[in-house]
Amino acid sequence: MSRVLVIGCGGVASVAIRKCCQADDVFTELCIASRTKSKCDALAEALRGKTKTVVTTAKVDADNVDELVSLINSYKPDLVMNIALPYQDLTIMDACLICGVNYMDTANYEPEDTDDPEWRAIYEKRCKEKGFSAYFDYSWQWAYKEKFEKAGLTALLGCGFDPGVTQAYCAYAKKHEFDTIDTIDILDCNGGDHGYAFATNFNPEVNLREVSAPGSYSENGKWVEIPAMSIKREYDFDSVGMKDMYLLHHEELESLAVNIPEVKRIRFFMTFGQSYLTHMKCLENVGMLSTTPVMFEGHEIVPIKFLKALLPDPASLGPRTHGKTNIGCIFTGKKDGKDKTYYIYNVCDHQECYKEVESQAISYTTGVPAMCGAMMLLTGKWTEKGVHTVEEFDPDPFLDALDKYGLPRSENFAPVLVD
């Protein structure tokens, strides 16, 4: 028996909500609240008669702490699932603390306005101190650790696939497969084709900011930063085939470097086709990826927001995307004094996802872990108070839930390594 408030009703939230409604013995009551209430109402209507979960809807501006507090106090949920955007992480965490409710999200905080001088000063200091320049980092949310601990509450950060499942794979490898881990390579392959010349698979603004930023990796306790897309490898992915992949900075690298300190090197690679990269470079060169407002015919517009309005809505890609994703982690290390390698990954089929929840695999592979993470908190499998990332919890019940709810793991005990 539990009451859950989901904030956001976009591509990922829609999958998470549909999956919560499949587990209606755990998720008995659920409120979908977002900026555009009509989207919440449409989803609630689509679910009517298909689940025992009692689904209600509400309108909320999640940038506004007072609005959030009054919604949380009136609905009284056991857990708030933040599946809006990373921009709202801190306001929703503040509201959860005020109301005494557990919190979770799927992406770490970054500000909407990267020109804000107050934020910029802290960011530039962090770039110098830590050595990576991504707009997002965990410092903002880790700063809430003591407050959540003192309040006896849990905040689960980044519980999608990557971040999220990739960290559970690391915790699983550490618990069952290795005595010590030397290297981790996280490989995110999307072999799907949607037929558009250019589109992003999740929120375009967040996605394009991430992939156009410099890449970085952690080596011997230090960050090494490289120009965007300057390290390229080829890999032959199970069920997908040979793909080009590029080294990116990614948020779980930061928490894994802290939580598995023995690891000598952690890298993250994502596959991109040449057409995607050419389009992105061109858009970047002409200034369309900028978050700085410009005046156009008397109106102030933010280029990347305007671009988002022109691009296909990621939620609309479902029916036209064919192919598979393959996301996982390759480890090297030692077990019982011997060298060992291990690869754990999931393969997900875009069309199968669409048949099940009317969504492509990127939203599916994020929404299912969000639901399974919520389930771990609601059923008392994960109880640690404070602010935590996925690798800090027991991976076994979480991976079992993923196996059951649509993202089964595969293993390879002699994988080809990435050089």
Residues at the contact surface with ligand NDP, assessed by CB under 6 A: 8-13, 34-36, 39, 60-63, 83-86, 88, 106-107, 158, 160-164, 202-203, 206, 314-315, 366
Closer to ligand NDP at the Cβ: 36 or 292? 36
Supply the minimum distance, in Å, between the C-beta of residue 340 and ligand NDP: 27
Closer to ligand NDP at the Cβ: 314 or 386? 314
Supply the minimum distance, in Å, between the C-beta of residue 16 and ligand NDP: 9
Supply the minimum distance, in Å, between the C-beta of residue 162 and ligand NDP: 5
Supply the minimum distance, in Å, between the C-beta of residue 317 and ligand NDP: 11
Closer to ligand NDP at the Cβ: 210 or 349? 210
Supply the minimum distance, in Å, between the C-beta of residue 207 and ligand NDP: 8
Supply the minimum distance, in Å, between the C-beta of residue 190 and ligand NDP: 11
DSSP element (H, E) containing 251: helix 251-259
Closer to ligand NDP at the Cβ: 10 or 406? 10
Residues 6+ apart with CB under 8 A from 181: 170, 173, 174, 260, 262, 263, 331, 332, 333
Q: Judge contact between 31 and 106, C-beta under 8 A.
A: no
Strand-pair category, 265-271 with 180-190: parallel
Supply the minimum distance, in Å, between the C-beta of residue 390 and ligand NDP: 10
DSSP string for 134-197: -S--THHHHTTHHHHHHTT-EEEE--BTTTBHHHHHHHHIIIII-SEEEEEEEEEEE--B-S-S
The Cα-based distances of 341 to 177, 183, 185, 187, 316 in angstroms read: 9, 10, 11, 15, 39
Closer to ligand NDP at the Cβ: 8 or 77? 8
DSSP element (H, E) containing 305: helix 303-310
Supply the minimum distance, in Å, between the C-beta of residue 221 and ligand NDP: 25
Q: What is the dihedral of CA 252, 253, 256, 261, to 10 degrees?
A: -170
Supply the minimum distance, in Å, between the C-beta of residue 264 and ligand NDP: 25
| Alpha carbon distance 190, 314 (integer Å) | 14
| Alpha carbon distance 367, 351 (integer Å) | 16
Closer to ligand NDP at the Cβ: 205 or 349? 205
For residue 332, which of 183, 180, 178, 220 has the smallest C-alpha distance? Answer: 183
Closer to ligand NDP at the Cβ: 63 or 225? 63
Residues 6+ apart with CB under 8 A from 116: none
Supply the minimum distance, in Å, between the C-beta of residue 7 and ligand NDP: 6
| Alpha carbon distance 278, 276 (integer Å) | 6
Q: Judge contact between 153 and 102, C-beta under 8 A.
A: yes
Structure tokens at 237: 């992915």
Closer to ligand NDP at the Cβ: 53 or 88? 88
Helix (H/G/I), strand (E/B), else coil: 250:
coil
Task: Give the residue at shortest CB distance from ligand NDP.
Answer: 10
Closer to ligand NDP at the Cβ: 39 or 243? 39
Number of H helices, E strands in the chain: 15, 18
Closer to ligand NDP at the Cβ: 29 or 251? 251
